[in-house]
Copies of this chain bind each other. A is one copy, B any other.
Amino acid sequence: MGLTLAQLASHLGCEFDGDAACLISGVATLVNATAGDLSFLASSKYRADLAATQASVVVMADRDRTVFVGNVLIAKNPYLIYARAAQLFYPEMLHDGGIHPSAVVDPAAQIDVSAWVNALCVIGPGVIVGANAQIGAGCILDSDITIGRDCRLLSNVVIHGRASLGERCVIQAGAVIGSDGFGYANDRGKWVKIPQVGGVVLGDDVEVGANTTIDRGALSDTIIENGVILDNQVQIAHNVHIGEQTAIAGCTGIAGSTHIGKRCAIGGHVGIVGHLTIADGVQISAKTFVSQSIDNAGFYSSGTPLEPNARWRRNFVRMKQLDDMAHRIKMLEKMIHKLSNDV
């Protein structure tokens, strides 16, 4: 599929500069672009890459246009316009509605005629699959599950535990939604399982990464609001609540009943303990350990710096002496003030 620069600019709502009839049919990085590609300058610091690019048009901020002689699309947020252009040139390939003959579908499931259920899926009783939804091969939707219209499940996704997905959710392969939460009472040294009877509610436009796990609630539901995006191998425990448009990067784990605000950005490999409240608009850098609630928007971190191992070992030992060092500094201050007075 190709569009002229003028058509593309009109579609994307951008001003353009250059050859209105130039044909664009794909996107690529500045370095890899060839004729017919749209590329983008995400930041002025990459200006050097403009000189050699073969892109037919480059999306850039107004301040950068003077340094480029080729076709340009002007945008306040070039990365966003690149995203929109990529959506245009690489639309999702949707199957027509239907159910693959190898799928095992319970008679008490309701699959919209426009939805596609791929090979070797298992769809249990009480499952509702909405219009145009795409259920990838090998998915298992256990029972009493609702999949909103235009949802897209990649392969081998498992959903159980009375989960409900809003519209346009995308669930990557191997994700598990609705597994039992980690709830046990202890009876004189032996673990007693607490039945997990809550559900999972995903809003609209939620994205869930590959092999990510979201537990069902213990009694009430685990809730993921509209527009939340979860990367691969994220672990969401029972009764967690995540506010809308929050992004969580790979390998992060959130323990039970923690409430994360809206529009948070949480880095990879972060660990957040249970029963906390994280305010709206909080950013947390990668590998941070969050052991207390965060009341105000802002950027938070923890962790220690990378060092050559030999030097790290020396500093590592000293960390056990920190409190002692602090006391010794205080003592030195007292002594020196006394001495200063004495002299």
Q: Which residues of A contact B (CB under 8 A)?
A: 27-29, 32, 77, 79-80, 82-84, 86-87, 89-90, 92, 100, 102, 104, 118-120, 122, 136-138, 140, 142, 154-156, 158, 160, 170, 172-174, 176, 179-180, 182, 184-187, 189-195, 197, 205, 207, 209-211, 213, 215, 219-220, 227, 229, 231-233, 235, 237, 245, 247, 249-251, 253, 255, 263, 267-269, 271, 273, 283, 285-292, 294, 298-323, 325-326, 328-329, 332-333, 335-336, 339-340, 342-343
Contact = CB atoms under 8 A, between A and B. Distances in A.
B329 A318 contact: no
A300 B289 contact: no
A256 B87 CA distance: 20
7 contacts: A87-B193, A160-B173, A189-B263, A285-B309, A287-B289, A329-B332, A342-B343
Contact of A318 (B100, B298, B299, B323): B323
Contacts of A267: 273
B322 A319 contact: yes
Nearest to A281: B189
A308 B300 CA distance: 4
Given A120-B120, A140-B155, 18 more contacts: A27-B219, A102-B104, A156-B156, A156-B176, A176-B210, A191-B227, A191-B229, A210-B215, A235-B268, A273-B286, A286-B291, A289-B303, A301-B307, A302-B306, A311-B323, A318-B325, A332-B332, A339-B340
Given A211-B176, A213-B232, A329-B328, A184 B253 contact: no
Contacts of A333: 328, 332
Nearest to A83: B185
Contacts of A209: 179, 182, 213
A306 B184 CA distance: 27
A174 B306 contact: no
| Interface hub of A170, A205, A232 (most chain B Cβ within 10 A) | A232
Contact of A251 (B170, B251, B321): B251
Nearest to A42: B185
B158 A155 contact: yes
Contact of A197 (B86, B190, B245): B86
Contacts of A294: 306
Given A179-B210, A184-B229, A268-B255, A336 B326 contact: no
9 smallest beta-carbon distances between A and B, as pairs: A179-B210, A269-B271, A83-B185, A318-B322, A299-B309, A80-B185, A90-B195, A251-B253, A314-B323
Given A292-B306, A307-B301, A323-B314, A160 B155 contact: yes
A307 B303 contact: no
Nearest to A174: B176
A48 B136 CA distance: 48
Contacts of A160: 154-155, 173
B232 A179 contact: yes
A232 B326 CA distance: 40
A82 B328 contact: no
Contacts of A306: 288-292, 294, 300-302
